[in-house]
A = this chain, B = another copy of it.
Amino acid sequence: MKPPHRTTTLGYALLGLLHQQPRSGYDLRKIFDTTAMVHFSGSPGAIYPALRKLEQAGLIRGSVDRRTSLRPRQVFRPTPAGTRALHVWLSRPVHRDDVIRRMDELMLRFAFHSLLDDEGATASLLRGFVREIDDYIPDLRAQLAALPATTPTTARLALESGLDLYRARSRWARRALAHFGA
């Protein structure tokens, strides 16, 4: 029996992009290199092995395009199991750790959320987002207040910046909620 296979954040990013339309490894690399999805590396040493793993896990399937050409390319598309895995991932509830340690993955999840085609689910994700952030903000504020008087100015300002960003995210999510009925 195979080990369970944990899909990485990069794996879900690839799965989500392939759900939009079938693409080759090269297409995916270009996206990571040229769009705002820059925090993923478009290096071939990351993309091709990740595609291979998704294929082995049965979540995507590749097919050779332009077979006749001397420069063939392989385009990948999600299998039904891949689509299911993507839906499960998108539907995960928001936990405290998602907003503290995995904000990037959480925003990626949100970015692909439309493909669930369920405004209620998206509104629910956003409410979870707001809930966990608003729960965390007082913690940060307390940390700031508890800083010893000797704390260097830049350390204090860096923490204030973090607090600032969480407030900005909370406001953004509240505005975003307006797009989804509830």
Contacts and interface: CB of A to CB of B under 8 A. Distances in A.
A89 interface: no
A108 B107 CA distance: 22
Interface of A: 35-36, 38-39, 100-101, 107-108, 110-115, 122, 140, 143, 152-155, 157-162, 164-165, 168-169, 172, 176, 179
Given A35-B143, A36-B140, A110 B152 contact: no
Contacts of A164: 168, 172
A164 to B, nearest CB: 5
Contacts of A115: 152
Contact of A165 (B38, B108, B169): B169
Contact of A112 (B38, B107, B154): B154
B140 A157 contact: no
Looking at A112, A155, A159, which has the most chain B CB atoms within 10 Å of its CB?
A: A155
Given A38-B100, A164-B172, A165-B168, A107 B152 contact: no
A172 B179 contact: no
A155 B36 CA distance: 11
